[in-house]
Structure formats: structure tokens, C-alpha cells
Copies of this chain bind each other. A is one copy, B any other.
Amino acid sequence: MAGRVVRNIVRADADVIEGLAVCGVATVHEAQGRIGLMGSRLRPIYAGARIAGSAVTISAPPGDNWMVHVAIEQLQPGDILVLAPTSPCEDGYFGDLLATSAMARGCRGLIIDAGVRDVRDLTQMGFPVWSKAVFAQGTVKATLGSVNVPIVCAGAMVEPGDVIVADDDGVCAVKRADAASVLQKAQAREANEESKRKRLAAGELGLDIYDMRGRLAEIGLKYE
């Protein structure tokens, strides 16, 4: 049932979160076994932002942004707001006033499976948003939702305190309890990729580096 606000949520270590931001979405997604990725409909309102933070989740009725105000009070520095409407909606739940308030509390950005507005102002303020739509449509404050409950956002399960990583490739959620080990795997993956990148840049082929020719021939690839 709607109408719940959970105040005490557990967050991951700040260092782990910072590390995940540096790795970026594609690497983190791979490192944790290709889970947690939000749908491609979530796009950044401007290019170049690259953030990670702890999820403060919002379950909101369609066209009603009342719970965003409630959620902002729950923010701690380093948090990211993550909003899923209870049914598909593209209204503009969030604009420059709410961003001003969220930034004042140290919020790093917003992930919303709905719409956002005032994107020119948000861009100038440097408050990044990943959204399904840019839409000026206003919302009301009439019906309860919940804050810091588990939600499904753009197809990904998110629990409050999970780590959210977002960059130009999209948005990925990492379970809080897995964050440290995912970071380790992500960093190992990056180290490994660096040597591959050099060899590929020098003209070596992935077919050879990854030793694919035998298996391809075995399952039937034919050159003509």
C-alpha cells in the first residue's frame, strides 16, 4: 500500500560508490553479471554527466509529484533520487525548483521513468537527469505514494540504498551488498581491457586475441 516513508536506509561506502562512478555503466553492468540495467528509454538531458550515488527511491502516482517533496527531506549528500511512476507516465515531475532543493541537500542527480522539465535550467545548474521524456506537463499534489520502498524503475529492481551508476550509456543499479565486490570485478575488467585495447589499436584482431577461429570453424563458419 502507498503512503510509506522509510527514514533509515543503509548506504554503501562512499569510496566504493566513487569507484563505481569512475568505471561507468557498461563496465559495472558487465562486472555484476549483466543485471541491473535500466531500459534504454532513459536518456540523459545533457551529454557528459557520469555519476554514482545511493538510491533514495520514490514510488509516485501518475502525474503527481508530491512524494518528491517528501523524498527530498530524506536525502543525504551523495544520494540520487530514483522515481518510478505506478503506471506509465511522461509528465514533468521535476524542474528547476526541485533541483535547487535537492542540490541544497547534496543530491547528485535524478533517475526518472517519466518526464522532466526546465531542462535548460537543469543543464546550466549542472544537475543531471536521466528520464524517459522531456515534457513540460505539470503535475499535482493530491495522492500518496511512498519513499524508500523497493521499486521497479525502467525494468530494473531498485531497493533504497542500492548504488546507482549513470552516464551517457544509461543507468545501472547495483545491490548495496554487492557493491564492493562488483567494484573489484569492474576494476579488474578495466585493467584487462587496457591491454586488449593496445593490442587492438596495434592491429591485432579480436579473432586472434580471444582465440575464436577454432570454435567458429567448429560450429560451421564458412569463408567464401
**B-chain residues with CB within 8 Å of residue A6 when the two chains form the complex:** 224
Which one, B43, B150, B197, contacts A97 given CB within 8 A? B197
A180 within 8 A of B: no
Given A144-B220, A207-B73, A88:B43 Cβ within 8 A? no
Write out, one digit per residue, whether chain A residues 208-224 have a CB within 8 A of any chain B CB (1) or not (0): 00101000100111111
CA distance A143 to B138 in the complex (A): 13
Copies of this chain per assembly: 6
The answer to whether A119 has its CB under 8 Å from any CB of chain B is yes
Chain A residues 127-147 with CB under 8 Å of chain B are: 133-138, 140-144
A152 within 8 A of B: yes
Residues of B within 8 A of A26 (CB): 92, 95, 117-118, 136, 138
Range, interface on chain A: 35 or more
Residues of B within 8 A of A79 (CB): none
B119 x A168 contact (CB < 8 A):
yes
Besides A123-B168, A140-B143, A152-B152, 19 more A-B contacts (Cβ < 8 Å) are A4-B224, A5-B223, A7-B223, A25-B117, A26-B118, A35-B86, A37-B135, A40-B90, A40-B134, A61-B63, A66-B216, A69-B205, A96-B197, A97-B196, A100-B201, A117-B169, A119-B169, A144-B216, A144-B220
Nearest 3 CB-CB pairings of A with B: A62-B63, A1-B33, A142-B142
Mark A residues whose CB is within 8 Å of B: 1-7, 24-26, 29-30, 33-35, 37, 39-40, 43, 46-48, 50, 61-64, 66, 69-70, 72-73, 86-92, 95-98, 100-101, 103-105, 115, 117-120, 123, 133-138, 140-144, 150, 152, 155-157, 167-170, 172, 193, 196-197, 200-203, 205-207, 210, 212, 216, 219-224
